[in-house]
């Protein structure tokens, strides 16, 4: 595989480096799902952030915030995506806010 993208979690970096065949299979599925999506890139990245927050997977938040911002998402949209799960997932989604806002503010 190529060098891991910047901003990914240490866990995912280890996955890419230590299990390259599994990672390539996984990324093939990711690419296929991406091409099947009817959402535009910004909406898809914001929805993904909402899922990460609901599942409390904050280690992936900085990388996906970068993708959302690069796709045109505003800081307010990223904040709203993290918080959209409040009614269903509860206030646990707020644990992703620091990582999301720090990542957004640090992306050029």
pTM equals 0.86
pLDDT tens for each residue of 35-94: 999 999 999 999 999 999 999 999 999 999 999 999 999 999 999 999 999 999 999 999
Whether 43 and 32 map to the same domain: the answer is no
pLDDT at 101 over 90: yes
* Half-sphere exposure at residue 9, Cβ-oriented, CA atoms within 13 angstroms: 13
Can you read off the two tokens belonging to residue 79? 């904040």
User: Measured between alpha carbons, how far apart are the two ends of the chain, in Å?
Assistant: 27
Whether 53 and 94 map to the same domain: the answer is yes
Which long-range contacts link 74-78 to residues 24+ away (Cβ below 8 Å)?
Answer: 75/101, 75/104, 75/105, 77/42, 77/46, 78/46, 78/49, 78/104
Measured between alpha carbons, how far is 22 from 27 in angstroms, rounded to an integer?
9
Whether 33 and 47 map to the same domain: the answer is no
The count of domains in the chain is 2
Can you give the residue range of the structural domain that contains 79? 39-108
């Amino acid at each position: 595989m190529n060098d891991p993208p910047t901003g990914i979690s240490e866990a995912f970096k280890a996955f890419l480096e230590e299990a390259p065949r599994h990672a390539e299979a996984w990324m093939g599925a990711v690419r296929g799902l991406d091409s099947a999506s009817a959402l535009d890139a910004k909406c898809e990245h914001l929805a993904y952030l909402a899922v990460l927050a609901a599942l409390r997977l904050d280690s992936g938040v900085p990388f996906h915030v970068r993708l959302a911002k690069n796709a045109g998402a505003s800081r307010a949209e990223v904040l709203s995506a993290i918080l959209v799960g409040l009614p269903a997932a509860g206030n646990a989604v707020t644990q992703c806010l620091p990582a999301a806002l720090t990542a957004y503010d640090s992306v050029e």
